[in-house]
Structure 1
């Protein structure tokens, strides 16, 4: 990436990264590089990196294959699950097609059962994720890291050494630091870029197969943003919004667009595509690499955890650091875990942080754009 490019062009490059990497994943396969398809932020990337394999996020944010999935799965199921299964079953996702293995996790009940169906046409490995962030949960997850490592060694006939895992930890931590440096530009008021442009880079970076190259690319983007900001281009302060809740991307970007079309700016994302995925680093000084990985990943604040203190810790910190004036929680239809937890999130935001909160429920269609526009417009006007 070259600094001579205009910022809008840079952002569009990242927005198109998912499509641009279709050819790259085929080239990896042709070179004999194992490709591991994943869905969840709890997935320990470093173990796969230590094997010399590539990790790719699988298609799951469009309603294109939902109808096909509903021939097997219930209609009143989370659209993310139906989209994930549909893209796999129909072979409309190149990443799924080229994946040698799909790795799932025991998060919500819908995904766990979906993996059983998926295993009929693709090798699937399901990691055992504890439902409590306790000492017992940490012990279990550490053992699961080792079990997963041994499974990969056997399946691909490759040794995964602890030294290689340590190198991967350092590489991935460097990528996380760079991405944190990117989303921290939104602390400025007014913000130097839009929340949608920030999202394009965060989401697009998940389709970069060589994690070692991410810091240099992202640092260039950050420097260009700062250079552009230093020119003193006139910007307007806008109501500052934090988005939390279910994973967003693809079809659910409609929420970001509505918020920013109505005069506000999304300054930070707490959910999986944003801060939640890159806020914590793996302890590079911990002698036990499996314990270090288990600690880092188990601290992710997802609603599948009971209780879920890390989510509120991150939410509170982001609200303070980014001068957030309103919180929008995006909940996918039939996502029971996030839906049930939304009451506690609402109370935390309104009673402890003393700022407005709104919850919107949506799916991957465009049928509710008008309704979303009406509700979010009223919320922003109130701010």
Structure 2
């Protein structure tokens, strides 16, 4: 195996982007630039971008603050919800601390009730997310996006024009296209990079607040990797894994390590920190840009949707495009919507795509690393 020699520092830069952004967000505040924080891929960030705000993803991927959260929230709640609340309450998340407002959404019951507690110590704007992608739901979501726009205009004393919204749409679409080009590199057989390097860019890019610079940097990395691959620098051939399920990152990167340590390579992430968040673009030339925004965001195939037809549609495309050998689903403990949906996804992968499937339930602790490795090793060996 010939390791790429010139790229590790780039992957490290993306991996460290979250820490770098801690300093950047303070600089934004010092310059008087509003900061809008959010947790979910349903957050229509282009509206906040159109008023010149910096948008940031808030801390939610570590067990560090869960004990603090459990003073108010039940112990048998999803770790992502508890961590989100704990980081906010304990002021251990710089992004949360510097956010002028946190934008929440009524996805699962746990999150929407958690936002009620959070609103006691932070300004929270809660968007009512429809639980279906029907025409009625689309109309409601368009109204919610317009309500969010009006809220920002009143709170910050600005005017968010259609022209500014369209400019923000074009800017964020470029980031999505750049990321799709980047993770498209994993179509190669064998792969040009390993799972951790793939994930470091996908996850790290979410913390780059300068979106124009983000698209440029991602495309530069993609071009360099493609050049190195053409010169024969590539990884060994390994079983090709797709990871689906709950948001992955931070503590749950233990699953990525388990795949790598047991001889596999993750060629695609369907999760919110992967293709699900960037697969679709906003129609830039739409007659009504707010309808286009609503349509794009509501089409995200999250398990909170009923029915959730877009998740298997995206999974099927990724399985075919990336020549996947097996699918691993990661479900966080007490995440009921993903847990209940596991049966449908298993049948889709097994019966319609003819591939092996395994679902792993975990949390943010490292206590199950040994068991997780054993299950992943057996799955990959079967492939």
Name the TM-score class by shorter chain.
over 0.9
* Alignment partner of 1:259 is 2:259: yes
The 2-side partners of 1:242 and 1:62 are apart by 23
SS of residue paired to 1:33 = coil
Alignment of 1:348-363 (within 5 A): 348-363=348-363
Match of 2:193 in 1: 193
The 2-side partners of 1:190 and 1:129 are apart by 41
Aligned length: 380
**Cα-to-partner distance string for 1:111-142 (whole Å, 9 max, x where unaligned):** 00000000000000010100000000001001
**Cα-to-partner distance string for 1:118-171 (whole Å, 9 max, x where unaligned):** 000000001010000000000100111100100010111111001100011111
The 2-side partners of 1:191 and 1:67 are apart by 40
Identify unmatched segments of 5+ residues in structure 1.
none
Give the alignment's Cα RMSD to 1 decimal. 1.0
Match of 1:129 in 2: 129
Query: Normalising by the residue count of structure 1, what TM-score does the alignment of the two structures yield?
Result: 0.98
The 1-side partners of 2:7 and 2:261 are apart by 19
Q: CA deviation at 1:234?
A: 5.6
Match of 1:297 in 2: 297
Match of 1:232 in 2: 232
The 1-side partners of 2:270 and 2:196 are apart by 14
SS of residue paired to 2:207 = coil
Q: CA deviation at 1:6?
A: 2.4
The 1-side partners of 2:350 and 2:359 are apart by 12
Match of 2:214 in 1: 214
The 1-side partners of 2:31 and 2:159 are apart by 19
Match of 1:64 in 2: 64
The 1-side partners of 2:70 and 2:112 are apart by 16
Match of 2:366 in 1: 366
Alignment of 1:256-335 (within 5 A): 256-335=256-335
Identify unmatched segments of 5+ residues in structure 2.
none
Q: CA deviation at 1:44?
A: 0.4
* Distance verdict in 2 for CA 1:165–1:234, change over 3 Å: closer
Runs of 4+ in 1 over 2 A off after TM superposition: none
The 2-side partners of 1:283 and 1:140 are apart by 19
SS of residue paired to 1:206 = helix
The 1-side partners of 2:215 and 2:113 are apart by 37
The 2-side partners of 1:35 and 1:80 are apart by 22
More moved, 212-221 vs 310-319: 212-221
